[in-house]
Amino acid sequence: MTDDQMDARLRRAGEAWRSATTPAAETDADDVHVLSPEPARRSRRGRHTGLLASAAVVAAAIVAGAAVLIVTVGGGDETNPSPGDTVGLEGTVWRLVGYGNDQRLPNSPATLHISGDGMLVADDSCRLIGARVDVNQGHLYGTQFQVRDYNCTDSAGEVTFDPDVFASAPSYSLDGAGLTITGAGKTMHLVASPGLPVPTLDRPTVTGATWRLVGVTDPSGTELPVSGEATFRIDNGTLHAGDTCNTLTGPAVLTGRELDTKDLAMTEIGCSNDVAPTAAVVDAVFSGTAQTELLGTRLTISRDAAGSLDYDWIPSDAVATDPANLTGRTWRLTAVAGDPVSDAVTLRVQPDGTTTGNDGCRDINASAEVGPGTLTVTGLPPADFPPTCNGDLAATVDSLLKQQPALWRISEEDLVINGPGAQGFALVYSTGDARPVLSPLLGSAWTLTTIETGTGPDAASQSVTGQLPLAVDQRLQFDDGCNAHTAEVTVGDATLDIGAVGGTQVRCVGPVPDQQHQILAVLDGRVSWRVVRDQLTITKEGVGALVYTKAGAGPRLVGTPWTLTSVQTDRSGSASGSGSSDSRVVLTLDGRGGYRLATGCHVYAGAAAISRSTVTFSDQRDLGGDDCLNTMAEQVVHLLDGPADWSIAHGQLTVTKGNATLTFRS
């Protein structure tokens, strides 16, 4: 049987099946009355529904059912989803309003969110809780718990999450817009609060966050220079820190503000004279019990007679906290602490720091320093508002903007600004810009990484010779490795219409002419474009595609989905291996001490302790999946156990364990 014959057989089978399952009254679906005055119960048919049931009837029931669910999620309906139902639990921001029969606190800033992939984040003014949860049979089964403390001094009068409840495999039930979670002898009451931002674990806390060393002071009070990159991070009770020369790893116990880090292991690289004094202070601070002080995004760790270390917070999500996504847009306030805002409150921060807008009472004319995830606004006048305006709103806006620094992030296209405490106490702005906030084709510089030629079975990828930039603004500008080109361009939502291309006309040699030909063939006329994370793909139908990476973005070990491209094994000098450009095996390290490996068949998860050049995998669990076979994945699954060396170069991640080398592309 040829491929064409197989194709024809599948088409016949598909047409026959569609014909057999298409009801005669299919078109009746258009006549369905969607919302009946009496809300219908969600349809729960027996599982023996006939395969050939009328699509129109099915459609009617489904739409009516969805309408009931919609009302349920929005609140106010009396439908009670069954305890095992997950409708609305995941993907909704829930506000904790109280326990048991205690008084409800409707404005509590404590929020809970469970993502579709099972990541639970609970946040209040004193604590940040993260876990993986399996939502099953009306219970929340949690693993990989992390409980991180904010620098709160007093939570009296506030309601906060009890980690023991989440750790007890609590039951839950949904009731209209309400959620009840019961476990460890307590019952939490929560309400759906769509105006609140989705809480994140990417916050400046002593544990579970990455800190960059920015200041070192020796015991005499002398400030020492910090050269090179040295970070500090504690995950699951294990410290990984650099001293600007060597790496320290070992157990770390944080009790209140006291950090106990003795008995650390350290690499033994000989340090040059210029970094040795700084490294000695870092080593001394981590050789016993030290004190931590967290103020905003600055962490200071000091130890008597050893010195003190200043660290600045590094957000894990570089895209959501990229200043380029905040600046140059006019943001309009939509909610404060979950309450919708109708006043015209705006904010615009220019790349040069000029900050304008309105706080609800008066115009803002200030300056701001924008860093990754941080915003330091100066020049706001004291709060003295005329009685004719909404002074409460303006005071809240000003107080959050005046934090030194305020924290910001882009969350689902919205700008969220809050302080270092409870994330629910936040300003949420949206932008009216037509261009997507997190897919900045315009105004960014891109570097070509891969040329894809052909389509279907004949598709092939080739790497690129030289640094070939591309930029799209008023015009399209690009380089083919030999010549620089420019062209008129009209940017659509997913297309570019490229006009006549002009440019230099240098004669090309070596492999460049082929490359030049392929680039010019793709960048011709109407093409489609797509930005995913830091990768831009421009496709010319029937010709091929060019894959660019955002210049300067560089893939990071943490947070980047790494796709396996090859597995090489070297035994006794004899190398063997397998490779694929589309292995479907994707490894992601989450920066919270965990990893996730999706093989296209199964999904695995486990712990990953990362240091400068090694990553130690452990606690691998099979999260289930389809019953299929992926031989490359089988090899990787077995290799992700124990320590392995890692490195990133030219957009590729290499993981080496024993005589095996795994290569991934970002």
- Which residues from 499-558 bind other proteins, rule CB under 8 A? 530, 537, 539, 545
- Residue 31 is a binding residue for other proteins (CB under 8 A): no
Query: Among residues 403 and 539, whose Cβ is nearest to other proteins?
Result: 539
Instruction: Pick one of 24, 37, 38, 44: the residue that binds other proteins (CB under 8 A).
Output: 44
Q: Does 579 bind other proteins (CB under 8 A)?
A: no
Report the residue number, 178 or 503, with the smaller CB distance to other proteins: 178
Residues 155-214 that bind other proteins (CB under 8 A): 194
CB of 216 to other proteins, least distance (A): 45
Q: Which residue's CB is nearer to other proteins, number 174 or number 607?
A: 174
Q: Which stretch binds other proteins (CB under 8 A): 18-26, 219-227, 299-307, 375-383?
A: 18-26
Report, in this order, helix, strand and coil percent for the chain, each rounded to 5.
Answer: 15, 45, 40
Q: Is 522 left (phi over 0), alpha (psi -120 to 50) or beta?
A: alpha
Closest approach of Cβ 21 to other proteins, in Å? 6
Only one residue has tokens 């570097």, namely 447
User: Quick one: 71 or 105, whose CB is closer to other proteins?
Assistant: 71
By the rule CB under 8 A, 88 interacts with other proteins = yes
**Which span sits near other proteins by CB under 8 A: 24-32, 236-244, 558-566, 635-643?**
24-32
* Burial of residue 2 (number of CB atoms within 10 Å: 0-12, 13-18, 19+): exposed
Between 13 and 506, name the residue whose CB sits nearer to other proteins. 13
Q: Contact 152/126 with Cβ under 8 angstroms? A: yes
Burial of 512-538, coded b for 16+ CB within 10 Å and e otherwise, reads beebbebbeebbeeebebebebbbbeb
Report the distance separating Cα 131 and Cα 372, nearest Å. Answer: 25
Options 67, 271, 366, 484; binder of other proteins; rule CB under 8 A: 67
Residue with smaller CB distance to other proteins, 487 or 547: 547
Question: How far is 32 from 81, CA to CA, in rounded Å?
Answer: 24
Q: Which residues of 608-636 are buried (b: 16+ CB within 10 A; e: fewer)?
A: bbbbeebbebeeeeeeeeeeeebebbebb
Residue 251 burial (C-beta neighbours within 10 Å; 0-12, 13-18, 19+): middle
DSSP assigned state of 341: -
With respect to other proteins, which residue has the nearer C-beta, 468 or 586?
Answer: 586
The alpha carbon of 78 is separated from its chain's Cα centroid by a whole number of angstroms, namely: 35
Please give the size of the binding site for other proteins, defined by CB under 8 A. Answer: 79
452-481: which residues touch other proteins (CB under 8 A)? 452, 454-457, 459
Cα dihedral 91, 94, 100, 102, rounded to 10, equals 180
- Shortest separation between residue 71's beta carbon and other proteins, angstroms: 7
User: Cβ 30 to other proteins, closest distance in Å?
Assistant: 7
Residue 252 CA to its chain's centroid (Å): 27
The SS3 assignment for 253 reads: strand
- By CB under 8 A, residue 52 contacts other proteins: yes
Contacting range for other proteins; rule: CB under 8 A; set: 23-31, 282-290, 292-300, 564-572: 23-31
Does position 650 bind other proteins by CB under 8 A? no
**Cα(469)–Cα(452) distance, rounded to whole angstroms?**
17
Q: In angstroms, what is the minimal distance from the CB of 63 to other proteins? A: 5
Strands 354-358 and 374-378: unpaired
Closest CB to other proteins among 48 and 507? 48
Contacting range for other proteins; rule: CB under 8 A; set: 41-49, 279-287, 360-368, 517-525: 41-49
Smallest gap from residue 183 Cβ to other proteins (A): 22
* Of the candidate residues 28, 40, 65, 634, the single one contacting other proteins (CB under 8 A): 65
d(CA 547, CA 624): 32
What is the number of other CB atoms lying within 10 angstroms of the CB of residue 38?
6
Asked if residue 600 lies in contact with residue 633, where contact means CB atoms within 8 angstroms, the answer is yes
Position 91 contacts other proteins (CB under 8 A): yes
- Among the listed residues 49, 80, 272, 613, the single contact to other proteins using CB under 8 A: 49
By C-alpha distance, which of 327, 333, 372, 322 is closest to 353? 327
Q: Which of 62, 152, 271, 395 binds other proteins (CB under 8 A)?
A: 62
**What is the footprint of other proteins within residues 394-453 (CB under 8 A)?**
412, 436, 452
In the set 51, 500, 509, 649, which binds other proteins (CB under 8 A)? 51
Instruction: Tell me which of 154, 363, 384, 493 binds other proteins, using CB under 8 A.
Output: 493
Six-digit token string for 478: 């690009």
Distances (CA, A) of 334 to 261, 344, 412, 442, 537: 45, 9, 14, 26, 33
Residues within window 94-153 making contact with other proteins, judged by CB under 8 A: 116
Structure tokens at 565: 């491209």
Task: Specify the stretch interacting with other proteins by CB under 8 A; choose among 88-96, 171-179, 390-398, 557-565.
Answer: 88-96
CA 442, chain centre distance (Å): 22
Residue 9 is a binding residue for other proteins (CB under 8 A) = yes
Between 295 and 629, CB nearer to other proteins: 629
| Contact range with other proteins by CB under 8 A, out of 9-17, 176-184, 210-218, 306-314 | 9-17
